[in-house]
Homo-oligomer: A and B are copies of this chain.
């Protein structure tokens, strides 16, 4: 199928084509950029929800339950689950996703797993691009689900309009560290598995910490037991409320503009990495590395030699 046909099929929402095109994007196969360019005028309708939190917090169960609520509301939902890859398991871990298999027979739901192991900005670019495909295909909501501590949390901001942070009662333990990363990005906090000990005290602590932010915004903290559906309608309502608020205030527009900027920066960076580290320069470095390290030559010196050579080539 050529690009024309693929684009046409995407706009019709054909599930098999969606999966196929996402593979093209993930592998950076020929045609990837052209497809995205052709789709760009059909993008901007889907609302994008990011779900993040520590491993084991129940993120995939939650996104499954939210998808059910959205379906009950007549919305078409895409889920893009970004899983860490393991070289010895050989691919993205599907784990809990099997529990959501009843959703997979519903044509109003599209699910996709992606691996994180990639280069600079690689995850967010590709996740966002897959979101664009779903957007162009007429999905009303796209849920991005990712493990969040460290750099990933920035990635999820880069793709989502509303960020939901999922914690568990045990998270209280690591809250000192946690608050740094996750606290500042959440628009909504869920304490999942809240039948476990410590849920109420974590909630209290969280509310207090979030008040310290003094952003003027009220950030909801909701207790849930996703596996039993407890708290899910409240969580869903909180997302709807947040969407209404940021649509009215213009913040949604600002967020999307900023995302667009970051996206352009990522594309430029990815281009440069390919451009600079061509085979010639890579093999030069491989050959000289031994000698450089043994003679304790500064990495800055080598980097600048390579940069100077690159500059000369440009002329």
Contact = CB atoms under 8 A, between A and B. Distances in A.
Interface of A: 33, 36-37, 40-44, 54-57, 83-89, 93, 95-96, 116, 120-121, 147-153, 168, 170-171, 173-181, 183-184, 212-214, 256-257, 260-261, 263-265, 267-269, 271-273, 276-277, 285-286, 289-290, 292-293, 296-303, 306-307, 311, 314-315
Contacts of A116: 150
The CB with the most chain B CB atoms within 10 A, among A42, A151, A171, A212, is that of A151
A307 B181 contact: no
A55 B268 contact: no
A267 B299 contact: yes
A269 B120 contact: yes
16 contacts: A33-B300, A36-B298, A40-B298, A55-B178, A56-B178, A84-B177, A86-B184, A93-B179, A116-B150, A120-B121, A170-B170, A257-B290, A261-B286, A261-B289, A263-B299, A265-B277
A257 to B, nearest CB: 5
Contact of A268 (B37, B149, B173, B276): B276
A176 B113 CA distance: 15
Contacts of A257: 289-290, 293
Contact of A150 (B152, B168, B176, B314): B152
B180 A302 contact: no
Given A93-B177, A151-B151, A183-B86, A41 B296 contact: yes
Contacts of A269: 120, 269, 272-273
A148 to B, nearest CB: 7
A183 B277 CA distance: 29
A299 B260 contact: yes
Given A54-B55, A149-B150, A260 B289 contact: yes
Contacts of A168: 173
A210 B314 CA distance: 48
A199 B291 CA distance: 46
A148 B147 contact: no
The CB with the most chain B CB atoms within 10 A, among A265, A276, A292, is that of A265
A225 to B, nearest CB: 15
A152 B151 CA distance: 7
A6 to B, nearest CB: 16
The CB with the most chain B CB atoms within 10 A, among A36, A181, A184, is that of A181
Given A260-B293, A269-B272, 17 more contacts: A37-B301, A54-B149, A55-B175, A55-B176, A56-B174, A56-B175, A84-B177, A84-B180, A88-B212, A116-B150, A150-B151, A170-B170, A257-B293, A261-B286, A264-B302, A267-B299, A271-B303
A19 to B, nearest CB: 22
Contact of A298 (B37, B87, B179, B307): B37
Given A152-B151, A256-B293, A314-B315, A300 B120 contact: no
Nearest to A152: B150
Contacts of A301: 37
